[in-house]
Chains A and B, each alone.
Chain A
Amino acid sequence: QKEVEQNSGPLSVPEGAIASLNCTYSDRGSQSFFWYRQYSGKSPELIMFIYSNGDKEDGRFTAQLNKASQYVSLLIRDSQPSDSATYLCAVSLSSGGSYIPTFGRGTSLIVHP
């Protein structure tokens, strides 16, 4: 049984702070890792993906992957109230477009002014 674990939160951070969201996975064969943002009542949207160990930065977002420790994290710098949402982590055994994701339950992030 493939498992992807996330702390459900809510994680509450002040505006301007760094929000750190974490995800662990059980299958060592996992190849690709994704972070999605889901606003309340809306569909998920992909914000980051990573498949190599280390950091990947895109604007205010940084994804960090450590395959040896089987965790992937998402850092949001200069958090804004508009970042308040649920963040879903997903893991796939395959890479490329033919991915078959397993999702975590999501972490609720609240950024307060």
Chain B
Amino acid sequence: DADVTQTPRNRITKTGKRIMLECSQTKGHDRMYWYRQDPGLGLQLIYYSFDVKDINKGEISDGYSVSRQAQAKFSLSLESAIPNQTALYFCATAGQGMNEQFFGPGTRLTVL
């Protein structure tokens, strides 16, 4: 089984809809991150969490919210999706050491 899983893998939705992207990990890592990637761009940090009670905004948090339900689960919500939120979304985890970083397979989101 994959260490970091994301559901759904692909999603097409309409403007104004609420949508939730889910991330689960089996690494036992406290640190989790949500990124978005647009074509030709690097990763932009949306939110990050260093433990269950710690949630922090990243560079581009407007229009997004997150929930850390447990150490293993970190969800990203778009309360009212808009077309410019069309992107590839990645969840990632990090352990104690800097070499312990793992990305999920990504969720491709299209907002029409």
Contacts and interface: CB of A to CB of B under 8 A. Distances in A.
Contacts, number: 61
Contacts of A34: 98, 101
Interface string B72-106: 00000000000000000010001111111101111
A101 B31 CA distance: 12
B44 interface: yes
A43 B105 contact: yes
Nearest to A48: B99
Contact of A97 (B56, B59, B94, B106): B94
B71 to A, nearest CB: 14
Interface residues of A, number: 26
B52 interface: no
Interface of B: 30-31, 35, 40-45, 48, 50, 56, 58-59, 90, 94-101, 103-106
A110 to B, nearest CB: 16
Nearest to B91: A43
Contacts of A103: 35, 42-45
B105 A98 contact: no
Nearest to B29: A97
